[in-house]
Structure 1
Amino acid sequence: MARGRRFHLDQDGHSVTVQLRRARGEVEVLVDGKVVAYRRRLGKDTTVLTAELPGDPPRPFRILLAPVEGADGAPLCAMESAGMRYLMPLVPLRGSDRPLWRDPSPAPFLRRLRGRLLRRR
């Protein structure tokens, strides 16, 4: 079971991320890596968080989190900005520098084993 969920969208030159932490039930909204909205608990119905995109003047937006039955616990996440609604896709919770798959070749293991054998001699 996942510890949380992350939704991400690039909007008007800004990175908007919504992170859910299941263990604590927290929700935070980040714009360009900075927390701009926070809620301690998710509601049973649609949860709404409001924030602003930086600029002159700042542009307000809303994040809507709605529970979806039978969807493996992942809610529906949407962003409303300037009268438009954008669905935010679910992205994996892993570092961008880590590969999505592991190299199936046994070469690293064999190199370590060979190194250990040579050190013993």
Structure 2
Amino acid sequence: MALGHRFHVDQDGHSVTVQFVGGAGGFEVLVDGKVVAYGPGRRKGGTVTAELPGDPPRPFAITVSHPREMGGVPFCVLESGGMRYLMPQIPLGGAGERPARRGPYRPVRRLRRFLRRSLRRLGRR
């Protein structure tokens, strides 16, 4: 499982998020922004169980697929109360946010840098 996958769904008034961490494919399950469970660190997907807060707490399960089953992108299913919900993948930057801009393009600065490096290389010969 690759880094950078995050899935989110609102379930029974609570925010449930699955976010992948580390290069080994482990994932964490967050309910209302708090980590409640960790998934396996092997690259095979897996199932974890946790509880939604309330009185009484409601158990749910998260199943994550092996990424090669879906062309390199894992899918995530939430099982709660006998129903299954496919969790949509959301971008890591958040909804409505633009990607960070690298800064203004400065051709003169790049040309000077190229010339300095080229002159240094010529001086080493």
- What is the TM-score with the length of structure 2 in the denominator? 0.69
Determine the structure 2 residue equivalent to 1:77: 76
Unaligned runs of 5+ in 2: 105-125
Give the helix-richer structure, 1 or 2: 2
Determine the structure 2 residue equivalent to 1:8: 8
Unaligned runs of 5+ in 1: 103-108, 110-121
Say whether the 8 Å CA contact 2:24–2:43 is kept in structure 1. no
Mapping 1:34-113, distance limit 5 Å: 34-44=34-44, 46-69=45-68, 71-96=70-95, 98-99=97-98
Deviations 1:52-93 (A, max 9, x none): 000000000000011253644211100000000000000001
User: Which amino acid counterpart does residue 63 of structure 1 have in structure 2?
Assistant: I
1:26 to 1:68, Cα distance in 2 relative to 1, 3 A: closer
**Percent identical across equivalent pairs?**
56
Determine the structure 2 residue equivalent to 1:115: none
Say whether the 8 Å CA contact 1:27–1:42 is kept in structure 2. no
Determine the structure 1 residue equivalent to 2:17: 17
Larger Rg: 2
User: Which amino acid counterpart does residue 37 of structure 2 have in structure 1?
Assistant: A
Say whether the 8 Å CA contact 2:3–2:25 is kept in structure 1. no
- What is the TM-score with the length of structure 1 in the denominator? 0.71
C-alpha RMSD of the superposition:
2.5
Q: Distance in 1 between matches of 2:80 and 2:56?
A: 14
